[in-house]
């Protein structure tokens, strides 16, 4: 069972603390209970505050803590909720969290933040030169304060190595489902969504992918291409062939794809293939060579370098950690 720590602080969104705690805590539980199966909890979730005291969230909702942060030596996953109050004041009042967050990252914890919680994570410097997103209303303030962060406000969720950000006050729901898929697999994420009656339509499945947020646009031609790529990513293909499929010039396709998704077409395809490889690595025990071929590559060495670039670890390390 994986240990999850949700940080609590004054003027956070209560739902970004309690809601994500509920959803993670019931992964492997609610669906199994409904269907008369043995309960299999996937996460042990604890709420931690600076000194272990309750915090007063937005709308004067008080949330109690399980522990103080200094009582938690290590955690698998650290969650930072939305800052619903004055961001500058919140950062000052919680400056003592910064070294503890950095320490958890050094010890191997994955760290996810929701909405304006990205400010607190960025304050640590851990997001420098990494992808991130935040609420659209605070984009300019974020960019001015953290110019080294590669901010992608058009994306609902960003994933860069062990750091994850979601871009709306209530996007903790998408983030929680994304994290369930990352740790427990697609089936358990879908079971969590179904048992809680969440929308799991095709257009929202980005929440379960390592390339999240890239379907939150209105370009139907690009959406159709994304659907096709989802099913055919392992085929050999070129940008010119994809341009012909969409009845566009290469230049137009590249421009529209970047405009719609915030990503280049080539990088998007790489992400699809890496995501497929991650699923294969945590499934049946097959060789890296065979996985390389199944996701559309021939050169194993090149694929290993690409996989490490996208995930921060080698395929074998990913298999050891998440199998």
Q: What is the pLDDT of residues 126-143, one digit of tens each?
A: 999 999 999 989 999 999
Burial of 172 (0-12, 13-18, 19+ CB in 10 A): buried
d(CA 127, CA 123): 8
17-35 average pLDDT score: 85
Lowest pLDDT segment from 122-131, 158-167, 201-210, 262-271? 201-210
By C-alpha distance, which of 215, 315, 314, 205 is closest to 261?
Answer: 215
**What structural domains and CATH numbers belong to the chain?**
2-192 (3.40.50.880), 217-323 (1.10.10.60)
Q: What pLDDT, on the 0 to 100 scale, is given for residue 194?
A: 80
Q: What pLDDT, on the 0 to 100 scale, is given for residue 322?
A: 67
Tokens of 141: 């303030």
253-264 average pLDDT score: 87
Q: What pLDDT, on the 0 to 100 scale, is given for residue 134?
A: 93
240-261 average pLDDT score: 93
- Count how many residues are written for the chain: 323
| Helix, strand, coil percent values for the chain (each to nearest 5) | 50, 15, 35
Whether the model clears a pTM of 0.75, i.e. scores above it, the answer is no
Neighbours of 123 (CB within 10 A): 18
Q: Does residue 161 register a pLDDT over 90?
A: no
Q: What pLDDT, on the 0 to 100 scale, is given for residue 323?
A: 65
Non-local CB neighbours of 22 within 8 Å, separated by 6+ positions: none
d(CA 43, CA 57): 24
Q: What pLDDT, on the 0 to 100 scale, is given for residue 207?
A: 36
Q: What is the pLDDT of residues 53-100, one digit of tens each?
A: 999 998 899 999 999 999 999 999 999 999 998 999 999 999 999 999
Q: What is the pLDDT of residues 191-237, one digit of tens each?
A: 887 887 775 443 333 333 445 446 656 788 998 999 899 889 999 99
Return the axis-axis angle of helices 315-322 and 265-281, rounded to nearest 10°: 50
3-13 average pLDDT score: 95
């Amino acid at each position: 069972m994986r240990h999850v720590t949700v940080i609590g602080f004054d003027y956070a969104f209560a739902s970004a603390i309690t809601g994500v705690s509920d959803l993670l805590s019931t992964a492997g539980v609610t669906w199994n209970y409904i269907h008369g199966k043995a309960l299999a909890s996937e996460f042990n979730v604890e709420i931690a505050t600076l000194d272990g005291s309750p915090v007063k969230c937005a709308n004067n909702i008080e949330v109690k803590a399980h522990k103080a942060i200094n009582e938690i030596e290590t955690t698998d996953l650290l969650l930072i909720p939305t800052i619903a109050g004055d961001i500058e004041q919140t950062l000052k009042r919680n400056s003592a969290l910064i070294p503890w967050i950095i320490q958890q990252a050094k010890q191997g914890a994955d760290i996810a933040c929701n909405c304006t919680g990205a400010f607190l994570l960025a304050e640590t410097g851990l997001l420098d030169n990494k992808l991130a997103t935040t609420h659209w209303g605070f984009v300019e303030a974020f960019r001015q304060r953290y110019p080294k962060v590669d901010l992608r406000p058009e994306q609902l969720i960003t994933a860069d190595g062990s750091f994850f950000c979601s871009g709306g006050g209530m996007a903790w729901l998408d983030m929680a489902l994304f994290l369930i898929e990352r740790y427990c697999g697609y089936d358990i994420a879908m079971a969590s969504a179904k048992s809680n009656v969440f929308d799991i339509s095709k257009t929202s499945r980005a929440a379960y992918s390592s390339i999240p947020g890239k379907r939150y646009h209105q370009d139907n031609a690009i959406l159709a291409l994304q659907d096709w790529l989802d099913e055919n990513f392992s085929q050999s293909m070129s940008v010119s062939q994809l341009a012909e499929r969409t009845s566009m010039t290469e230049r137009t396709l590249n421009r529209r794809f970047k405009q719609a998704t915030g990503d280049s077409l080539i990088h998007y395809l790489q992400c699809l293939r890496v995501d497929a490889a991650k699923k294969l690595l945590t499934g049946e025990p097959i060789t890296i060579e065979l996985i390389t071929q199944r996701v559309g590559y021939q050169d194993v060495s090149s694929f290993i370098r690409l996989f490490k670039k996208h995930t921060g670890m080698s395929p074998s390390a990913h298999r050891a950690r998440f199998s």
